[in-house]
């Protein structure tokens, strides 16, 4: 499945921040499970690094709401959508 522009930007952020050299940002399937060996094989430290990078780049702060956070981080698509939603909500409120 091809990436949207926003998904591509998020993929680039992930690849850059996690120093993943063997996968091109454009290759990450937006629906693949990121924390699986079938996907990117990320672990919890990666989740932390991604959360920090997203805070710095988008000023969106992820916190652990248990099930909700797992869903957000499940796929590139979910993560991008969540960040976009937060950014738009902030813009609407300002």
Partner 1 sequence: MNRTPLVDRPGDAPFALWAGREIRVDQFCADVYALAEALPDGAHLINLVSDRYVFTVAFFAALSRGQTVLLPAQREPALAAEQLAGYGTACALTDTHPVVQAFAPAENGVATSPDCERDHTAVVVFTSGSTGTPQPHAKTWGLLDRFRRQHAQLLDATAGDAGGILATVPSWHMYGLEWAMLLPTVAPVAVYCGADFYPQDVAAGLAALPSPVLVSTPVHLRALRALPVAPRNVRLVMSATAPLEPQAAGHIEARYGAKLLEIYGCSEIGTVAHRLTAASLEWQFFTDFAAVWQDDRVTLSHPELPQPVELADELSPVQADRFLLKGRRGDIVKIAGKRESLANLNAQLLGVPGVQDGVFVQPPQGGDRLAAFVVAPDMSSAQLRRELAQRIPSAFMPRPLKRVASLPRDKTGKLKASDLQHLLAVAESGK
Q: How far is the CB of 19 from partner 1 (least distance, A)?
A: 4
Closer CB to partner 1, residue 48 or residue 88?
A: 48
Question: Is the distance from CB of 72 to CB of 62 less than 8 angstroms?
Answer: yes
- Using CB atoms within 10 A of its CB, is residue 66 exposed (0-12), middle (13-18) or buried (19+)? exposed
Binding-site member from 6, 9, 33, 49 for partner 1 (CB under 8 A): 49
Q: Does 94 bind partner 1 (CB under 8 A)?
A: no
Stretch that binds partner 1, among 5-13, 20-28, 75-83, 85-93 (CB under 8 A): 20-28
Q: Are 34 and 74 in contact (CB under 8 A)?
A: yes
């Amino acid at each position: 499945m091809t990436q949207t522009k926003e998904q591509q930007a998020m993929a680039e952020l992930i690849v850059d921040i996690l120093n993943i050299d063997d996968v091109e940002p454009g290759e990450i399937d937006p629906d693949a499970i990121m924390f699986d060996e079938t996907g990117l094989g990320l672990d919890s430290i990666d989740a932390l690094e991604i959360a920090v990078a997203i805070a710095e780049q988008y000023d969106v702060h992820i916190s652990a709401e248990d099930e909700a956070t797992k869903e957000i981080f499940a796929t590139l698509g979910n993560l991008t959508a969540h960040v976009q939603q937060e950014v738009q909500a902030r813009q609407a409120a300002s």
